[in-house]
Amino acid sequence: MTDSIKSHRTDILIVGLGPVGAALACILGQYNISTVVVEKDSDIFQQPRAIALDNEALRILQMIGLEDNELKKVIIPEVQMHCPYSGNFGRANAFGSTDGHPNLITFYQPDLETTLRDKLKHFKSVKVMLNTTLESFDQSDLHVSASLTNSDSSSLHITCKYLIGADGAKSFVRKCAGLDFSGKTHKERWLIVDAFATNNNFRHVEFLCDPHRPVAHLAAPKGRQRWEFMLHPHEKESEMMKDQSISTLLRPWGDADKFKIERKAVYHFHSRVADAFSSGRVFLVGDAAHVTPPFVGQGLVSGLRDVANLGWKLAWVCSGKLPNQTLNSYSVERQPHVKAMISLARLMGRIVMPKNKSSSILIHGLVRIIRLIPVLKKQIDELEIKPSNRIKNGLFVKSSKRNPLCGGHQIAQGYVKLQNGEISLSDCVFDYKFSLIGFDIDPSIYLQEHERKILSTYDVNFYCIRPLGYQALDCEQLPTNSGIDIEDITGSLLNQHNRNRIALIRPDGFIIDSTTSKGLGRLVERFETLLNTINTYQWNVHSDDT
Ligand SMILES: Cc1cc2nc3c(=O)[nH]c(=O)nc-3n(C[C@H](O)[C@H](O)[C@H](O)COP(=O)(O)OP(=O)(O)OC[C@H]3O[C@@H](n4cnc5c(N)ncnc54)[C@H](O)[C@@H]3O)c2cc1C
């Protein structure tokens, strides 16, 4: 045991090395920002938790540098809803992919966390300290000072520019920052079981919305299956956790005595959101900022959206390229979307857990009726009911919703061919930096010298998306191009509506503003106004572009 006190200085201190803290550390490592991550435990948390991720989460994991083959996954083609009284009353089609990734997959959370921790070893700017607990912190206008202890009881002081609470639902950082965690803890308890089953041809997700025993059942990688059983108030946790009780619950799915139970846990679910995701120089991400019932598999996904939003802002602010008020846009941009996702999860909870036979007949009958109306059927069957990842207020220029490249929307992603013949996903080409992208038009030739200078302050790169086959044209006939031409080989980016427009994109892929070649000078002016008004906390720059 030692009582020596060590001191460190860093730009960013992340408290908590769960999946969200690890993901943020990877992003900061990629931008070479000096970062310390502290984690009170020595090992990855092994209880059954996240199992499903959507295409948006996979796109963020791509940003983090996760290769497709680095995470074992099962691609889920559909989600089925059954009930003893209404039969198969609902079905959502998850088949196919969006923005280069499958719409829905299942995975094994400890595998993901191991992969992220391995990635962190390669970043020189990131230091991970396990067995290290945050005990207290103080913030001033200039920095945050944190006091920590190691498992050998030695003390540690870390001074940082920004402290990030990625310390889970019971967040100590949130409490110390004085941020309330409004919402509710749901009274129902759920028994979660991961098991290796013998019925290996199960490939999808099903919800058995039986008031007597609501169950969620999911196929998972490496022969695993996940069951989530709602427990009744009279059922004792200690009894229900016994393998024998679990085998009884699993019997409808085969010879349950032969199933190998891997993990089990009982949870209450919560719907809670921090009143703000930041306070001064302290920021919350992941479960520290919000918790949701898992019925639409969005807890971790929301945490990943947090770090995709906050990561680049921290990087640009720490390198002095943007003022620290930029970070005020984080809470403004993320909180409404998180709340919308929780509302959807609660709605789904009502469908999955009808109180009794009558409410089951009523609720599931209503779903059946809704699915008779084509526009509403599409909302459910094609998962269009899921809130789209659009920013309503924040660091972008507001424009008409008819604008095909509307500020606050995320740019689509697809496979593109580079001039050297290499094929890549487009986000990787844009390299998670500011980009000025012309859609079948070279933006760079329309810029005046002073406008170029302004854009170069923020490291804006220029690109030109061309239709498939453009490079096959006779090179002599092609206009000279000072940006980078890329061919849209999957037709995901370029279309008849956005052709000849130019869009300014943030490092996280969200559109700041767009215009035609004639309006490019005004776009650069609006970008400057937007960044200058960050100090006034207003997110209200409007486009005059038609
Ligand atoms: C049953 C269940 C099913 C779920 N299913 C899904 C799903 O299908 N899809 C989905 O997207 N999400 C799902 N979730 C949610 C998902 O698991 C969580 O959102 C996610 O794990 C949260 O990650 P995190 O990094 O924010 O927090 P955590 O994983 O809780 O990590 C926080 C870390 O901070 C550390 N820490 C805490 N305090 C301190 C301190 N003072 N000092 C240092 N370290 C500290 C902790 O030890 C911990 O390692 C599910 C959750 C449950 C319970």
Question: Which of 77 and 482 is assigned the larger pLDDT?
Answer: 77
Say whether both 291 and 437 belong to one domain.
no
Contact 11, 161 (CB under 8 A): yes
**How do residues 266-308 score in pLDDT, each as one tens digit?**
999 999 999 999 999 999 999 999 999 999 999 999 999 999 9
Q: What is the CATH number of the domain that holds 329?
A: 3.50.50.60
Q: Which residues contact 285 (CB under 8 A, 6 or more apart)?
A: 20, 21, 24, 164, 165, 166, 277, 303, 306, 307, 310
Whether 76 is in the pocket of ligand 1, judged by its Cβ within 6 Å, is: no
Pocket mutation for ligand 1, best pick of 15, 46, 49 (most atoms within 8 Å of C-beta)? 49
- Is pLDDT of 41 > 60? yes
The span from the CA of 218 to the CA of 197, in Å, is 12
Cβ–ligand 1 contact at 19 (below 6 Å): yes
Instruction: Give the burial class of 499: count Cβ atoms within 10 A of its Cβ; 0-12 exposed, 13-18 middle, 19 or more buried.
Output: middle
Q: Which atom of ligand 1 is nearest to the CA of 167?
A: 34
- Looking at the fold, whether 340 and 428 belong to one and the same domain comes out as no
In the listed set 331, 347, 363, which residue is the last one of a domain according to the structure? 347
**Closest residue to atom 41 of ligand 1, CA basis:** 134
Q: Which of 433, 418, 428 is nearest to 488 (CA)?
A: 418
Q: What does the mean pLDDT of the chain come to?
A: 93
Alpha helix (H) residue ranges in 277-387: 299-318, 329-352, 357-370, 374-381
Give how many domains the chain has, as a whole number. Answer: 2
For residue 394, tell me if it sits in a domain: no
Say whether both 341 and 433 belong to one domain.
no
**For ligand 1, is residue 230 a contact (CB within 6 Å)?**
no
300 Cβ below 6 A of ligand 1: yes
Please name the residue whose Cα sits nearest to atom 52 of ligand 1.
49
For residue 159, tell me if it sits in a domain.
Answer: yes
**Ligand 1 atom 11 nearest Cα:** 300
Residue that wins the pLDDT comparison between 60 and 199: 60
Assess whether pLDDT exceeds 80 at residue 173. Answer: yes
Query: Cα torsion for 278, 282, 285, 287, to the nearest 10°?
Result: -90
With 60 as the cut, is the pLDDT of residue 481 above it?
A: no
> What is the per-residue pLDDT across 69-106, written as a single tens digit (0 to 9) for each?
999 999 999 999 999 999 999 999 999 999 999 999 99
402: confidence class by pLDDT, cuts 50, 70, 90: confident
Check whether residue 317 and residue 459 sit in a common domain.
no
pLDDT in tens, 434-480: 999 999 999 999 999 999 999 999 999 999 999 988 776 655 555 55
Q: Does residue 286 sit within a domain?
A: yes
Query: 62 by DSSP, 3-state: which?
Result: helix
Q: Does residue 340 sit in helix, strand or coil?
A: helix
CB 53 within 8 A of CB 108: no
Identify whether 445 is part of a domain: yes
* Residue 52 Cβ < 6 Å to ligand 1: yes
Whether residue 43 is predicted with pLDDT greater than 90 in this model: the reply is: yes
- Assess contact for 497 and 404: CB atoms under 8 A: yes
User: Which structural domain range is residue 523 located in?
Assistant: 415-536
Q: Which atom of ligand 1 is nearest to the CA of 269?
A: 53
287 lines ligand 1 (CB under 6 A): yes
How many A from CA of 152 to the centre of ligand 1?
A: 25
**Cβ of residue 414 lying under 6 Å from some atom of ligand 1:** no
Give per-residue burial for 412-435: e unless 16+ CB within 10 Å, then b: bbbbbbeeeeeeebbbebbebbbb
Distance of CA 40 to the CA centre of its chain: 24
Distance 18 CA to ligand 1 centre (A): 6
**110, two tokens:** 């400890």
Query: Which CATH number belongs to the domain containing residue 476 in this structure?
Result: 3.40.30.10
Residue 301 CB–ligand 1 contact under 6 Å: yes
Site to substitute for ligand 1 among 37, 40, 164, 290, most atoms within 8 A of C-beta: 40
What percentage of the chain has pLDDT greater than the value 70? 95
Q: Considering the domain boundaries, does residue 51 fall inside one?
A: yes
Distance 174 CA to ligand 1 centre (A): 15
pLDDT higher than threshold 90 for residue 139: yes
Confidence bin at 1 (pLDDT 50/70/90): very low
Identify whether residues 33 and 154 lie together within a single domain: yes
CA of 19 to the centre of ligand 1 (A): 7
Q: Measure 287 CA to ligand 1 centroid, in angstroms.
A: 6
For the segment 504-512, the average pLDDT, to the nearest whole number, is 98
Determine whether the shortest distance from the Cβ of 256 to ligand 1 is under 6 A: no
pLDDT in tens, 337-394: 999 999 999 999 999 999 999 999 999 999 999 999 998 998 888 888 999 999 999 9
The answer to whether residues 168 and 54 belong to one domain is yes
Computed on alpha carbons and rounded to an integer, the radius of gyration of the chain in Å comes to: 25
Number of the ligand 1 atom closest to the C-alpha atom of 38: 43
Distance 311 CA to ligand 1 centre (A): 18
Q: Provide the token pair at 103.
A: 């719409």
- Taking alpha carbons only, the member of 58, 47, 386, 53 closest to residue 218 is 53
Domain boundary among 347, 382, 407: 347
Q: Is residue 245 part of a domain?
A: no
Distance from Cα 422 to the centre of ligand 1, integer Å: 38
Q: At what angle do helices 109-120 and 19-30 cross, to 10 degrees?
A: 30
**Cβ(165) – ligand 1 distance below 6 Å:** no
447 and 330 in a common domain: no
Alpha-carbon distances of 364 from 81, 201, 204, 382, rounded to whole Å: 9, 27, 20, 18
Q: Tell me whether residue 37 is in a domain.
A: yes
Residue 486 lies in a domain: yes
Output the CA 300–ligand 1 centroid distance in Å: 7
Closest ligand 1 atom, residue 41 Cα: 47
Q: Are residues 475 and 336 in the same domain?
A: no
User: Do the strands 5-15 and 104-106 form a parallel or antiparallel pair, or are they unpaired?
Assistant: unpaired
20 and 122 assigned to the same domain: yes
Query: What are 180-229's pLDDT values in tens digits?
Result: 999 999 999 999 999 998 766 899 999 999 999 999 999 999 999 999 99
Decide: 168 in ligand 1 pocket, CB within 6 A: yes
How far is 502 from 520, CA to CA, in rounded Å? 8
Residue 331 has pLDDT above 90, yes or no: yes
Cβ contact 354:364 at 8 Å:
yes
Give the pLDDT of residue 475.
56
Residue 445 and residue 313 share a domain? no
Query: Which amino acid is residue 197, in one-letter code?
Result: A
Nearest-CA residue for ligand 1 atom 17 is 50
Coil, strand or helix at 118 = helix
Q: For strand 278-279 and strand 5-15, is the pairing parallel, antiparallel, or unpaired?
A: unpaired
- Contact (Cβ atoms closer than 8 angstroms) between residue 464 and residue 437: yes
* Domain identity same for 431 and 509: yes
Task: Determine whether the shortest distance from the Cβ of 306 to ligand 1 is under 6 A.
Answer: no
C-alpha distances in Å from residue 12, one per residue of 8, 27, 38, 116, 288: 11, 12, 11, 18, 17
Domain C-terminal end among 291, 325, 347:
347
CA of 485 from ligand 1 middle (Å) equals: 42
- Same domain, yes or no: 341 and 432: no
Judged by DSSP in three states, 465 sits in strand
pLDDT, average across residues 419-446: 95
How sure is the predictor about 2, in pLDDT bands with cuts at 50, 70 and 90?
A: very low
